[in-house]
Each structure stands twice: as structure tokens, then as C-alpha cells.
Amino acid sequence: MSRDESLFAAVRAAMPDASHPFLRLPGGTTITYGDMLARSSRLAHAIAASGVRPGDRVAVQVEKSANALLLYLACLRAGAIYLPLNPAYTVAEIEYFLADAEPRLVAVSPARESAVRALAGERASLHTLGDDGKQGSILAEADRHATTFADVPGAANAPAAILYTSGTTGRSKGAMLSQENLLSNACVLRDLWRFTPNDVLLHALPIFHTHGLFTATNTLLMAGGSMMFLPRFEPDAIFAALPHTTAMMGVPTFYTRLLADSRLDCRTTAHIRLFISGSAPLLAETHRQWFARTGHIILERYGMTETGMIASNPYAGERVAGSVGFALPGVALRVAAPDSGAELPQGDVGTIELRGPNVFAGYWRNPEQTAQAFRPDGFFITGDLGRIDERGYLHIVGRAKDVIISGGFNVYPKEIEAEIDSLPGVRESAVIGVPHADLGEAVTAVVVLDPGAKLDEAVAIRQLGERLARYKLPKRIFVVEELPRNTMGKVQKALLRQAHRQVF
């Protein structure tokens, strides 16, 4: 029999004592590593009893819970390909994913059962996943099975999960992530961020996304650590959990909301050794304010669905505001000319490209899109623009599709956003290009102000003119109450462009 190179085989090897806490839940319930093995064994049996064979897909659209996480682990053990779906997706969106992935088993929240049943069709087995164990629930089926399970061995290149991309430029694509993709990333992050069995991670992220499901969960599993597993981000719950945890992973919105709370100070964060931010750019001002209030320097990192984590600021070295640090060990990274892929000189802006064991195998049943995503030498084209400074730190400039071409000049939004954010009273900004008869695209800014602050558009543009070339200056600045964001906190610039398309 070939050697088992699966992620769960590594989980077993890294496991601490069976009595060691794995999940700590609100209300005081603890799920130990022994409990995790027993309950995921039952679920793995239930998956197999539903007709799922190694390589079959299991689609899951449920609310965050300990059972949902155990179902993910059960899929790993059964050799199934795990397909997490955002609970906010509509029935129409779910119809596309089920038709594309053709899962053998579909698990949904009880409230979705009737709406999804017709979509699942005859090929897929439909189960609900709640906490009640009622008939039809996969938990009820699991209770009929044994607490041990013979894990399906897996090769390093065997697919472990499919995560669908956001689909902002067309239909969502399913990124196929292998056992090695997930395992290599988790081991590197464990070592880089120095996680041990003594760590308790404050987990308030969703688990349908790579951040909460893979970056957080897999890394802690590889360390044999514990997680304070909260259903969602709520400041009261966060402050209650902080004294009992050692690290937190969050999106920038977590940090801005905590900064708005008077309880945040050095005392309430004294027990934490590491705050990590990702999934969206962290404002340099947030970075500075967090240090001023808590004495902690947030560690910002960079990743994406197709690659897991790519780069990180150092644990022990300087964490630079506005930078995502250095490429992870084992990851080859370059900034390249978008048209040719030729590596650019240090400091030049270009497309971020990488190659390494974390890079996905390709898009599910989409060889054309897969071919377009890679260079002939195997480097994956991220679509992000960046530059590497004189000390080797990587700075993200923006998405290639967000570059503004105004009067023939390339304008990178993040540069302008940094200057706008430094204006008095500005909380955050988003810079977009909108159609303009003369310029092609006009630089346009949308800003959110601090409570009680006011902004004079003409004065602000004049102030920016002292720091920016004329072609980079916003032609208009609009004030809004909030910027549109997706579930991971990324600003949805496509919506802003649509809303302001007829300004000029």
C-alpha cells in the first residue's frame, strides 16, 4: 500500500493527548481531540453510507458550528472532496454550484432543505445539518455508526477541496486544492507564526472561506492547539474570550470595530501573543492605532483562494504597515510584466506571480481558464499588482482589473487611497475609474468620514494636489456612510463603478 500523504494523516501525527481541548464553545462546552476523532468517525461512516466514494464531492451550505467543522474533517477522512458554500448564497446561486460540481452528497441548514431538494436531483443524497439530530439530519445517521473509522489514504496530489472564487468577472470557478496544497501551507504557517499545543486561537471567522477553514483550522490542527470557536464576530463575545486565548486571526473589519470600542486597551489584550489580519488590505492607520491602543503590532499576511497563504510579515522581525511581508518558505514569488511574465526590477509595479506546493492544481472542469492562469514556466498569475521595496517587503498595489487608465497614464488606486486616508476626518476611501469622454477613465474617490467630520471636496482635491501628480488627482470625491463589502471585508469596487458610471 502506498504511503498516506493526506492532510488527515498529518493531523493524526500532530495530535496531542486525546483529552487535550480541540474546540472551546460558547457556554463552556469543550470538544477534545478524542471527541473530534470519535464524532468525525461517525460522520465519515454516514458520508460513506450515503454513497460517497473517494473523489466524490460533498457540498455543504450550513451555518458555522462545531458539527460543520467536524463534517469537513469527516470528508477528509472519507476521501471526499469538500465543497463549502456561503450560507448567504441564494437558491439560484446554489443551483449553479450543484450543476457544476455534481456533488454526491449535499448538506444544508434545515431551513434550506425544501428549496434545495429539487436542485440536488436524483444523483445527490440530501441531508440537513443542524444541532437537533432530527430524522433526515446527517447527525441522526452518524449516531448509528461506530466511533472508529479506517481513514482513506490519500496521495499528495489528490484533491481535498474545491473552493469557488467570487466570480466578479464572470461565472465562479472552482479552485481545486490538493492534500499537499493544504498540508504544506498549514505546516509552514504553524512554524512561521510559532503555534504550539499551548495556543488557543480566537476563531470568529466564517468557515466557508479559505481564511477560517484552512488558514485557521488546519494551522491549529498541525500545531495540536485549541480554538475558541465563536459562531460569528461580536465585540462582546470577543472581549469575553480575549483573556482565555493567545492569538486571533481576523479581517480588517474586526480590528476597526474593536478600535471603536472603549474596552480595547493594553489590559484587555494582555493575554494575546499574536494578532493576524488578512483577506482584505489593512489600512496603515488601523495598524498604527492598534499599536497605540494595545501595544501589539498586527501581523498582516497575503493569500488567495487558489494558493492559500503566499506571504507574511515576520513574527520576530519588523512588521511594516502597508506591506504583506515576504514570500513564505518554499514559495517562489516574483513581480512580473503583465504581458510577458518577465521579472521586473525591484521597486517596479507589476503582476504578482508565484510557484510552490501551495498553488492549486487548476479550476474544476475548466482547462481553458486553468491554462490562462499559469505561465509556461508554471508560475500562477494572481491578478494582483504589487512591488517589492528595497528591503524585500512585498506591497500590494491593487487588482490588475482595478488599475485606472486616465489620459493614457496608469493610476494605481492604493497610492491615491493612502493619501486620501491621511486627510483629516477621513476614515477610509476607495478609488475607482469611471467612464470619461476625454480621459477614457476619470479618477474618482468614494470616502467614509469619521463621526461628525466634514469634507470640502475642492479643498481636499487641492490638498491632494500637493502630494500627487495632476493625472492622479480625483476629479470628484463622494462621501458615503459605508463602502460596500463582501463577506470577507473586501471593498466591492465593481459596485462602486456601477453606481458612479454616469458621473461624467
CB within 8 A of 360, min separation 6: which ones?
175, 176, 177, 178, 181, 305, 306, 307, 380
Question: Residue 98 — very low, low, confident or very high, per pLDDT cuts 50/70/90?
Answer: very high
pLDDT at 367: 95
Write the pLDDT tens digit of every residue in 195-241. 999 999 999 999 999 999 999 999 999 999 999 999 999 999 999 99
Number of continuous H segments (helices) and E segments (strands) in the chain: 16, 25
Report whether pLDDT(168) > 60: no
pLDDT digits (tens, 9 = 90+) for 310-359: 999 999 999 999 999 999 999 999 999 999 999 999 999 999 999 999 99
Q: Is pLDDT of 1 > 50?
A: no
pTM of the model: 0.87
Cβ neighbourhood burial of 27 (10 Å; 0-12, 13-18, 19+): exposed
The backbone torsions φ and ψ at residue 370, rounded to the nearest 5 degrees and listed phi first, read -65, -45
Mean pLDDT (the chain) is: 93
**What is the spatial distance between Cα 286 and Cα 198, in angstroms, rounded to a whole number?**
29
| pLDDT more than 90, % of the chain | 80
Q: Report, as an integer, the average pLDDT of 23-42.
A: 97
pLDDT band of residue 410 (cuts 50, 70, 90) is: confident
Read off the pLDDT band of 135 (50, 70, 90).
Answer: low
The pLDDT of residue 169: 46
Task: Sheet containing 159-164: give its strands across.
Answer: 125-128, 105-108, 57-61, 81-84, 159-164, 174-178, 362-363
**pLDDT, tens digit, 9 for 90 and up, residues 236-286:** 999 999 999 999 999 888 998 999 999 999 999 999 999 999 988 888 888
pLDDT tens, 181-196?
Answer: 999 999 999 999 999 9
pLDDT band at 488 (very low <50, low <70, confident <90, very high): confident
pLDDT value of residue 136: 65
Q: How large is the average pLDDT for residues 96-121?
A: 90
Nearest of 394, 199, 397, 376 to residue 309 by alpha carbon: 394
C-alpha radius of gyration, the chain, whole number: 23
Residue 446 has pLDDT above 60, yes or no: yes
Helix intervals (H) in 228-267: 235-241, 252-259
pLDDT tens readout for residues 433-445: 998 878 888 999 9
CA distances to 121, 123, 477 from 103, rounded to whole Å, are 10, 8, 47
Most confident by average pLDDT, 135-139, 404-408, 417-421 = 417-421
